[in-house]
Amino acid sequence: MQPPLTRHAQVRMQQRAIRAEALEGLLEFGREAFDHRGHAVILYFDKKARRRLEHAEPGIKDVNHLARCYAVLSREGAVLTVGHRYRKIRRG
């Protein structure tokens, strides 16, 4: 079951051409990182998550495009926004 999307997240998915399948993949296989402010969780694909996705969905198209996607979730679990990564996610 997909968590609720805020209106902002819906608009960003449309503007940034991020399909619902990419969000589902993030929710199922993505790695979690905290935002260092205590407000949200960032989901993204690292190498291990990408391999799990490729193994679980062998016929998936454009894995590199999916691998650059990220999602920001609130502490309650609602998707706040989504986007494409251009820099590494800070984990430490």
Each residue's pLDDT tens digit, 32-80: 888 777 789 999 988 888 888 778 777 666 666 777 889 999 988 899 9
Edge-first strand order for the sheet with 31-34 is: 31-34, 40-44, 69-74, 79-84
Buried-state track 8-46, b at ≥16 Cβ within 10 A, e below 16:
ebeebbeeeebeeebbebbbebbbebeeeeeebbbbbbb
**How far apart are alpha carbons 23 and 29 in whole angstroms?**
10
Residue 61's pLDDT is 65
Dist CA 46 CA 4 (whole Å): 24
pLDDT of residue 7: 95
Would you say the C-alpha torsion 86, 71, 64, 48 has a positive or negative sign?
positive
88 pLDDT band, cuts 50/70/90, is: confident
Cβ atoms 56, 62 nearer than 8 A: no
